[in-house]
Chain A
């Protein structure tokens, strides 16, 4: 059983020196580190149970299938889906969102509207641009209220008209840290008959996420941002919607019958999982779900939120700094800022010299950066193993950088 007192011991990658300093890993918004239990679960699977899943009649294939389908059930439980069949394994959030856009989106027509927000990651923006170009549907955006980084919901009524067929939005902004009122947004979408799509990449491993409480139609997330491996993620979709959707990729595993000129599809989730899936990392994802739930995601939310609050407070006290996103309650576990005299990449290069891993740039959010008149920000994003002391290391480093360039 993991314990909050010893969480840092669970993550081998944290225990190293970088440029002569203890690693301070504050790039969790990009990818988190993995605990030993996840690494072990994946290696154990490959060492003992590895075989291709489904249709296999031999012992290893049956064990691999049980592990893979067990992982699906575990992920379903992690987000309180009604059934394992509502979980489609994908390569990650990007693929999940592309799946919805390509498959569900194929029914869009000229005159239809796709409503997004200005704070969407490119992965919840470009797939919709592609489907809009194919179908003639139009894009529309809920504006962001400037540096405070909230959605301007005062104009939602004007934007969320009956022409809107899809309302897609992020749960936590990877650039601003804003936590959006997703349940309210989903309810508003339902009122006009639009489907709701939630990008939960930054939230699902950081706070309790219950798809039925949120009331979403689709929800997308990645394993590697919640202590599991890369190349594994999931799309949650309500069963009745999934069963009415066409396949988006063809191949083995997704067919009920194949003829030379026509084929029939399996129901969800197999319909959307053409080809050999990443079962090894699905097993790791299930182990990560166990690990995070043992620690408690409500506590994780408090931990991350407290670090973000502390970092925001200490950064605010520095001169020549511009902080993005809400100050208090609605902030997830990250802070994003720009120094007036030092470019984000110079900050990141200097902080790396102090062993601190940060991210600088547009964070796959170019249109928002453009709107805010920025080319990039520095982002420090936290996870369960980060500490208040590490924030002090960050602040000291930023002070040195400001002095150097001052």
Chain B
């Protein structure tokens, strides 16, 4: 296996793919958003319970490749307790990691996704859950298809 591939499928990513954290619909959620990757058909829904402007609880579900599943899983562990501004700033750092491979210091497990930058086709897999989470925070209107899927 090549170094690039080992770097892409790090142990942290494999672990989150196999045992996703915070997976499933959150019964107490008061925000939800859905992300689609039309290229591959991957889907991700993110559920939030916002309390006093902070993410009190978060979960995700959907289907996708190891990168998108692990990224969404890890994201939920990082976003709990954050407010919208903190979440946006964390996403900026994550985006930098997956597009340049350079991780700011003290960014914890998210640095595991540095290997994505050598596989440009997979960047969207890594950011799918994040887009859904940020949309949920903004309270963007939920597309009709999402609502029917949530029924």
Contacts and interface: CB of A to CB of B under 8 A. Distances in A.
B5 interface: yes
Contacts of A299: none
Interface stretch (A8-16, A164-172, A346-354): A346-354
B1 A361 contact: no
Given A349-B8, A353-B1, A343 B65 contact: yes
Contacts, number: 49
Contact of B5 (A344, A353, A405): A353
B41 interface: yes
B18 to A, nearest CB: 8
Interface in A336-368: 342-346, 349-350, 353, 360-362, 366
B148 interface: no
Contacts of B8: 349
Size category of the B interface is 20 to 34
B125 interface: yes
B64 interface: yes
A362 B119 contact: no
Contact of B119 (A20, A342, A349, A360): A349
Given A353-B5, A405-B14, A405-B66, A376 B122 contact: no
Contacts of A353: 1-2, 5
Nearest to B119: A349
B5 A349 contact: yes
A345 B2 contact: no
Contacts of A405: 14, 66
B10 interface: no
A346 B2 contact: no
Contact of B65 (A19, A20, A346, A404): A346
Contacts of A214: none
B108 interface: no
Nearest to A20: B2
Nearest to B14: A405
B5 A345 contact: no
Interface string B30-62: 000000000111110000000000000000000
Given A345-B122, A353-B2, A375 B63 contact: yes
Given A346-B65, A375-B63, A405-B66, A361 B39 contact: yes
B43 A343 contact: no
Interface in B67-84: 67, 69
A196 to B, nearest CB: 30
A369 interface: yes
A362 B41 CA distance: 6
B40 A362 contact: yes
Contacts of A19: 2
A349 B121 CA distance: 10
Nearest to A362: B41
A350 B40 contact: no
Interface in B84-104: none
A376 B5 contact: no
Contacts of B122: 345, 349
Given A361-B40, A362-B41, A375-B43, A344 B65 contact: yes
B64 A375 contact: yes
A19 B4 CA distance: 11
Contacts of B43: 375
A361 B122 CA distance: 13
A342 B18 CA distance: 10
A361 B66 CA distance: 14
A366 B36 CA distance: 12
B145 to A, nearest CB: 11
Contact of B41 (A20, A346, A350, A375): A375
A369 B9 CA distance: 26
B62 to A, nearest CB: 9
Interface string B1-33: 110010011000010000000000000000000
Given A353-B2, A360-B40, 4 more contacts: A343-B66, A344-B65, A346-B67, A405-B14
Interface of B: 1-2, 5, 8-9, 14, 39-43, 63-67, 69, 119, 122, 125
16 contacts: A20-B2, A343-B69, A344-B40, A345-B64, A345-B67, A346-B9, A349-B119, A350-B5, A353-B1, A360-B40, A361-B41, A362-B41, A375-B40, A375-B43, A376-B40, A404-B9
- Sort A-B residue pairs by CB-CB distance and give the 10 closest, nearest first: A345-B65, A343-B65, A362-B41, A361-B40, A375-B63, A346-B66, A375-B41, A346-B65, A353-B5, A376-B41
